[in-house]
Amino acid sequence: QRTWERVMLASSLDHVVVATDDEKIAECCRGFGADVIMTSVSCQNGSERCCEALQKLRKHYDIVVNIQGDEPLIEPEIIDGVVMALQRAPDAVFSTAATALKPDDAFDTNRVKCVVDNQGYAIYFSRGLIPFNKSGKVNPHFPYLLHLGISGFDSKFLKIYPQLAPTPLQLEEDLEQLKVLENGYKMKVIKVDHDAHGVDAPEDVQKIEALMRARNIQ
């Protein structure tokens, strides 16, 4: 619900839906006023779920944004920035966001790291620390990037995505965005200032609640 409330504040979105295969989630979301689309349990990831939801909507959208439900502190400005980045990069089919990685999260495999080229296009994503130096330690002076749980898709590409066979790097890292890069498509990454992360594990709940208290978010 918190994620949905934040997403509804984004000015770039025409329609917000919760796509899920779980009736409990659907019932809860309908209870607070969200539009819900039931999707198949066979969806392998959020991108495939978005593709199915788009087909069921039977409406044309130029861009589809996948915002993971475990991002209760996502800023509406980040969503708008991801949409704008894709609109301004006609050679890209995918856009996403990254922020500064905290040293404490360097070796946490739930925190996905990314590296970009000097034009702001993604080079790689990893659950490991990238780049990795010879010392094997975190370099306190290097601006490591943490990938955030938001993705913008060109809607034409989103329809192609599920038809692409899983790729070796995607399977090894268990990161759906790597299938995009391995197939030679371009991905734009915007750098944002965002100090909260998703709720990836039970112990993250306490961290997020502490952040909310600090910001006086009810």
- Does residue 218 lie within any of the structural domains? no
Angle (CA) 57 16 69, round 5°: 110
In angstroms, the CA 3 to CA 70 distance is 7
In angstroms, the CA 53 to CA 137 distance is 43
Q: Which two tokens stand for residue 174?
A: 């268990």
pTM of the model: 0.87
- Does residue 213 lie within any of the structural domains? no
- pLDDT given at position 211: 75
Beta-ladder partners of 64 = 153
- pLDDT given at position 197: 63
CATH number of residue 85's parent domain = 3.90.550.10
In angstroms, the CA 19 to CA 125 distance is 25
Element (H, E) at 114: strand 113-116
Ranges of the chain whose pLDDT falls below 50: none
Number of structural domains (the chain) is: 1
- pLDDT given at position 218: 66
- Does residue 178 lie within any of the structural domains? yes
- Does residue 214 lie within any of the structural domains? no
- Does residue 60 lie within any of the structural domains? yes
Main-chain dihedrals φ then ψ at residue 13, nearest 5 degrees: -100, 130
Task: Quickly list DSSP for 31-89.
Answer: HTT-EEEE--TT--SHHHHHHHHHHHHT---SEEEEE-TT-TT--HHHHHHHHHHHHT-
- pLDDT given at position 78: 94
- pLDDT given at position 71: 82
Q: Is the peptide bond before 131 cis (omega within 30 degrees of 0)?
A: yes
Domain region containing 128? 1-206
- Does residue 96 lie within any of the structural domains? yes
- pLDDT given at position 196: 63
In angstroms, the CA 85 to CA 131 distance is 24
In angstroms, the CA 196 to CA 208 distance is 7
- Does residue 217 lie within any of the structural domains? no
Q: What is the pLDDT of residues 186-213, one digit of tens each?
A: 999 999 987 666 777 787 788 877 777 7
In angstroms, the CA 76 to CA 68 distance is 13
Residues in contact with 64: Cβ distance below 8 Å, sequence separation at least 6, in sequence order: 50, 54, 152, 153, 155, 158
- Does residue 215 lie within any of the structural domains? no
